[in-house]
Structure 1
Amino acid sequence: MRKALLLLILLSGIAECKSIDWIITDFPPYYMINDADEGTGRDELIIDLFHQYLPAYENNKVYFPASRAIRALSDKRNTFCMLSLYKTPQRQKFIRFSENYTTIGLSPTIATTTTTLQALGLKDTAKIQLKPFIEENKLVLGVVMQRSYGRVLDQAITSIPKSQVVIRPGQDALESLTYMLKKGRVDAVIGYPSEHFYLHKQTNTKEVVQLILEDVDPIVHGYVGCTDNDLGREIIKEIDSVASTVVNSQEFKTVMQKWLPSYLEIKLSRLMKHKEAG
């Protein structure tokens, strides 16, 4: 009788053990896969923070190449989740998104060289609109394959002549585009401020600056997206139940500013405080 009871308890424990399989990819500084800072990427730390409030779920991180991440989320035979995604109409067809945002950061910027700026007669404080900046100045824009920058910027990129856009696949796509920028093979690269800053710091790049895009709001929100099946929808409900607590914590604010240069860290901090006040 005791053995049967013990077996029943063990089986019950196994049945109640749930996990969230988070897709991680090689996108520093959001995910740190292969360097001294492994495990300290911004989004990895936010995933860990969410699990402090989701004790019933095991935190399981699964690596996918960036080019396969969205495809994996759409396959209903498995259930995966990913942090910090844009909600787009196309993605909402096969991904269930959280109602509440789960990351907040500065909107994409354009990295370009000081040489290009000088040739265009612009200062490094210039604010630009993406499409006219590229088209009218006859520049070539570098873009990471299968990456969304939000509806407005995605549409702008699509509308630029293909001859003026270089799309790079692979896990080191942004790093490759940054190298091409330094060599003059592209004139501008779109990315997020923390990504640009991390790569420029890693490669000791001093001749590249970031320009703010007027096309979009200064801050951007990311959402958790899970496979749109029964388990994925259940996980999203749990995420939404704790999201407000997580994003209002001091730990969250600290992580959001972790991989920004000091002047952008101050800017994001001000914008977050303004959002709270609003």
Structure 2
Amino acid sequence: MGLLEQCEEAFGTSDLYKVLGVRSAASEGEIRRGYRNVSLRVHPDRVTATQKEAATHKFQILGKVYSVLSDSEQRAVYDEQGIVDEEADSVKRDRDWEEYWRLLFKKVTVADIKNFEDKYKGSSEEMEDIKQAYLDFEGDMNSIMESVLCSRSEDESRIRAILEAAIEEEELPAYTAFTKESTHKQRARKRRGEREAREAEAMRHELGLADGSSALKMLIQSKQQNREKQMDSFLSAMEAKYCTNSQKGGKKSVKKGKK
């Protein structure tokens, strides 16, 4: 059975991009991130014993899908002809896909996260990300705060000041959702942030962590109901953003103009 048939059987689609949950024009970084997200959900170590065999099969298929889409020549053939070269070494050979996955995704430690946060906050890169999030979500601060890496409730005034300055300079459009945001919405977001901080503190005690583990608090706090999904998304964002293999995918440029 060929790879496309295996995908159809295991994932309900023969579209390699849909298997990874990415668009057909996805950058290398997006494809890598999609592979990580989907493979985490079906990883054999994260399922029950009765599900392990099926999960292992899916995990292997995902490795092959990624190996095709991460290879420029194989991807071009697939895009143009809708076929996979089943004789390609990366598809045909009997590879240890678990080892392959571990080589791609180094385990991220608390120290890694803290170092990243220290360098990222206040950087020109964070500023660019804040402005892009503002454009992507048309000034909705709830979405902006959830989108920007490492952002917590106490960062909101700083992030808002950055955006207000950019609007004043006509670098960003003045979206009503931002400039006319109600105090009720702002207070609700503050209460949610305080609740998340309490949840993070409770988790810290549960894990027996020492005081001052701010990076881990940030990691485990739940901006969404599903903590595991939030953690995976954060780690994926870090890897997609800072892994050398995904640097070629360009970022969207910040648009100018007034609305």
The TM-score range, normalised by the shorter chain, is under 0.3
Query: Normalising by structure 2, what TM-score?
Result: 0.24
Q: Larger relative contact order (C-alpha < 8 A, sep ≥ 6)?
A: 1
- Larger % of strand: which? 1
